[in-house]
Amino acid sequence: RQVVRLFRLHVLVDLLTSNFDALNHLTGEGDLRMAFQRIAENLRPGGHLYFDLVTPCQPIAGEVVYARRMNARSQQVIQRIRWDASRRSISIVVSTRSANSVRPAVEVHRERVYSFDEVGRWLMDAGFVIRGVHDAATLLVASGCPARIIVVAQKAMLSKN
């Protein structure tokens, strides 16, 4: 468990993954760029980075509320998701109410979406070659502007000079 902007392993590895919008949670200026640098430092030459991202191509207009019951009678979870296109940000409020609780437990999550240009430039600056960009909904090669993508990048091999 580490802050990805300061990520450091004891040994170099062949594969690093980041799933479930984890990199979208890097909302500060330069955070994702720094994360790619740190990740590259922890991969062997030729190693791979596999990650998913929510893109600025969000189909959400305004606010969307998802409600779902868990364990039918004992717990209810409500998610409110708001997309702010002007700030390229997503706010998620998760409210969980149990049958035996007076007040719900509330979690607040903030995410930032990054343009394809930013992600590509920052990966290349960190020494990666992009091997694939896929639509996360279909797993096909991304075309158009999918709402979520999966990226496979490879750390460049050392030159033999």
The tens digit of pLDDT for each residue in 9-37 reads 999 999 999 999 999 999 998 999 999 99
Q: Which whole-number Å values give the CA distances from 140 to 13, 31, 88, 143, in the listed order?
A: 27, 28, 25, 8
* Residues 42 and 13: beta-carbon distance below 8 Å: yes
pLDDT tens digits, 106-117: 999 999 999 999
Using one digit for the tens of pLDDT, what is the confidence trace for 145-158?
898 999 999 999 87
Looking at residue 142, what is its pLDDT? 94
pLDDT attached to residue 97 = 83
Which runs of consecutive H residues, i.e. helices, occur in the chain? 31-41, 116-125
pLDDT of residue 75: 78
**At 3, which amino acid appears?**
V
Strands (E), the chain: 13-18, 43-54, 63-70, 75-84, 89-98, 105-112, 128-135, 148-155
The model's pTM is: 0.84
Please compute the mean of the pLDDT values over residues 55-63 and round it to a whole number: 72
User: What percent of the chain lies above the pLDDT cut of 90?
Assistant: 57
Instruction: Tell me how far apart the alpha carbons of residues 23 and 120 are, in angstroms, rounded to a whole number.
Output: 14
| Confidence grade of residue 67 (pLDDT, cut at 50, 70, 90) | low
Supply the pLDDT for residue 117: 92
Query: What mean pLDDT is predicted for residues 69-74?
Result: 61
What average pLDDT is seen over the chain?
Answer: 87
Residue 161 has pLDDT above 60, yes or no: no
